[in-house]
C-alpha cells in the first residue's frame, strides 16, 4: 500500500532546471512524503507552488520549508468549496494555474465484512472525492483561461492489485484511476492532459509503522523484485514527468512505479496483523 505521508526533507537530485519555469502548480498533501518531494522538485525546476494540506502548522511554514516561491493553504480536499477556494487563491496569488498534483490520500483498514461505514466513507472521500474535486476544479480553471493544463492523480498499485484489510483503499484508488481516464477522454480536445501515477510500497514514516512490525518488511521484500521500497523522490520523478511537456502526448495513463511488484502480488498481511 502506498501512503502520502513522510519526511519533508529531500534533495532535488534529478531535477531538470527550467522545465517548469514560469509555471504554477498546486500540490495537495504537498508538505510531507511524496507530496513534499513533488513540491521540492517543482521549485528546483522553476515553478511557483501552492501546497495544500489539512495540517495547518505545516502549511503555515511552507515558505520557510520550501522557499519563497511556495505558499501554503490549509485545505480539506474532500470539501468542494474549500478546494475551490484553494484554486481561487492560487490564481489570485500567481495569476494562473498550469498543473495540479492530487497527492493527498490515506486509508482506514478493514475487510469487506467488518469495516465500519464511517471508515469506508472516510477512505473513499479522502482518496476519490479529493481527486474528483481537484480534477474538475482544475479543469474548469484551465477551460476558463482557454489554455492547456496537466493533472496528475497519485493512485496506488492497489488500484490494480487487492490486499487484505484494504477494501476501502483498493476500491477508492481503482475508482480514482478510472476517474483519471474519464477526465482524459472528456478534456483531451481542449489540450488538458490527465494521468495517474501508481506507487507500490514507498518508504515513509507512515509505512514504517507497518514495515517495522516483525517479519513485515521481509514479507514485502520477498514479493518486490527490486527487494526494497521506493523512495518518495522516485515517485515524484514519475509525477513530474507526466505533468511536463516531455509527456505532451500522454493522457489517460496510469504509470505504475512499483519495482516490478505487480508481477508477483501482495504478501498475506493477515499473518502479521490479525
In this prediction, residue 8 has a pLDDT band, given cuts at 50, 70 and 90, of very low
Known catalytic membership, residue 249 = no
> In sequence order, what are the residues at sequence separation of 6 or more whose Cβ sits closer than 8 angstroms to the Cβ of residue 118?
none
Q: Give the mean pLDDT of the chain.
A: 93
**Cβ atoms of residues 1 and 163 within 8 Å:** yes
Q: Looking at residue 139, what is its pLDDT?
A: 98
Determine which of 138-147, 239-248, 264-273 has the lowest per-residue pLDDT on average: 264-273
How many structural domains does the chain have?
1
Q: What's the Cα-to-Cα distance from 149 to each of 25, 48, 81, 177, rounded to whole Å?
A: 10, 15, 21, 18
Among 263, 254, 249, 207, which Cα is nearest to 230's?
207
Q: Looking at residue 13, what is its pLDDT?
A: 62
- The domain of 83 spans 24-259
pLDDT (tens digit per residue) in 226-235: 999 999 999 9
Whole-angstrom distance, CA of residue 200 vs CA of residue 155: 10
Is the pLDDT confidence value at 92 over 90? yes
Of 129, 165, 169, 266, catalytic: 169
- Residue 53, strand partner residues: 74
Q: Looking at residue 207, what is its pLDDT?
A: 84
Rg (CA), the chain: 18
Domain-embedded: residue 268: no
Grid cell 521481509 in the structure block, residue: 218
Domain-embedded: residue 91: yes
Q: What average pLDDT does range 239-243 have in this prediction?
A: 98
**Cβ atoms of residues 14 and 40 within 8 Å:** no
**Cβ atoms of residues 230 and 203 within 8 Å:** yes
Contacts 24+ apart (CB under 8 A), 268-271: 268/164, 268/219, 269/163, 269/164, 269/165, 269/216, 269/219, 270/164, 270/165, 271/215
Q: Looking at residue 209, what is its pLDDT?
A: 84
In this prediction, residue 175 has a pLDDT band, given cuts at 50, 70 and 90, of very high
Domain-embedded: residue 272: no
**Cβ atoms of residues 152 and 196 within 8 Å:** yes
Domain-embedded: residue 39: yes
Is the pLDDT confidence value at 4 over 50? no
Domain-embedded: residue 197: yes
- Got the DSSP string for 42-104? HHHTT-EEEEEES-HHHHHTHHHHH-TTEEEEE--TT-HHHHHHHHHHHHHHHS---EEEE--
CATH number of the structural domain spanning residue 57: 3.40.50.720
Q: What's the Cα-to-Cα distance from 19 to each of 28, 44, 161, 228, 238, rounded to whole Å?
A: 21, 9, 33, 30, 14
Q: What average pLDDT does range 247-266 have in this prediction?
A: 96
Among 245, 145, 139, 270, which Cα is nearest to 192's?
139
Written as nine digits, the cell of 50 is 501552492
pLDDT (tens digit per residue) in 105-159: 999 999 999 999 999 999 999 999 999 999 999 999 999 999 999 999 999 999 9
Written as nine digits, the cell of 246 is 516531455
**Residue 110 backbone phi and psi in degrees, to 5:** 165, 160
Q: Looking at residue 12, what is its pLDDT?
A: 60
Domain-embedded: residue 71: yes
Domain-embedded: residue 271: no
Domain-embedded: residue 169: yes
Q: Looking at residue 17, what is its pLDDT?
A: 82
Amino acid at each position: 500500500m502506498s501512503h502520502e505521508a513522510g519526511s519533508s526533507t529531500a534533495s532535488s537530485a534529478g531535477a531538470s532546471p527550467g522545465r517548469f519555469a514560469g509555471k504554477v502548480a498546486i500540490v495537495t498533501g504537498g508538505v510531507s512524503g511524496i507530496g513534499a518531494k513533488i513540491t521540492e522538485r517543482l521549485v528546483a525546476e522553476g515553478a511557483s507552488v501552492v501546497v495544500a494540506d489539512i495540517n495547518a502548522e505545516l502549511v503555515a511554514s511552507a515558505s520557510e520549508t520550501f522557499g519563497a516561491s511556495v505558499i501554503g493553504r490549509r485545505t480539506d480536499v474532500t470539501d468542494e468549496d474549500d478546494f475551490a477556494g484553494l484554486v481561487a487563491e492560487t490564481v489570485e496569488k500567481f495569476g494562473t494555474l498550469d498543473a495540479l498534483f492530487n497527492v493527498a490520500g490515506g486509508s482506514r483498514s478493514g475487510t469487506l465484512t467488518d469495516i465500519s461505514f464511517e471508515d469506508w466513507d472516510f477512505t473513499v472521500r479522502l482518496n476519490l472525492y479529493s481527486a474528483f474535486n481537484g480534477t474538475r476544479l482544475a479543469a474548469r480553471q484551465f477551460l476558463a483561461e482557454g489554455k492547456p493544463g496537466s493533472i496528475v492523480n497519485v493512485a496506488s498499485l492497489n488500484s490494480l492489485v487487492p490486499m487484505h484489510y484494504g477494501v476501502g483503499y483498493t476500491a477508492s484508488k481503482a475508482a480514482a484511476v478510472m476517474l483519471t481516464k474519464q477526465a482524459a477522454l472528456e478534456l483531451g480536445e481542449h489540450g488538458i492532459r490527465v494521468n495517474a501515477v501508481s506507487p507500490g510500497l514507498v518508504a515513509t514514516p507512515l509505512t514504517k509503522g507497518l514495515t517495522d512490525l516483525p517479519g513485515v518488511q521481509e514479507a514485502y521484500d520477498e514479493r518486490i523484485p527490486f527487494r526494497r521500497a521506493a523512495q518518495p523522490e522516485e515517485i515524484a520523478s514519475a509525477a513530474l514527468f507526466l505533468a511536463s511537456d516531455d509527456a505532451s502526448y500522454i493522457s489517460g495513463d496510469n504509470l505504475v512505479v512499483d519495482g516490478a511488484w505487480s508481477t508477483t502480488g501482495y504478501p498475506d498481511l493477515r499473518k502479521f496483523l490479525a
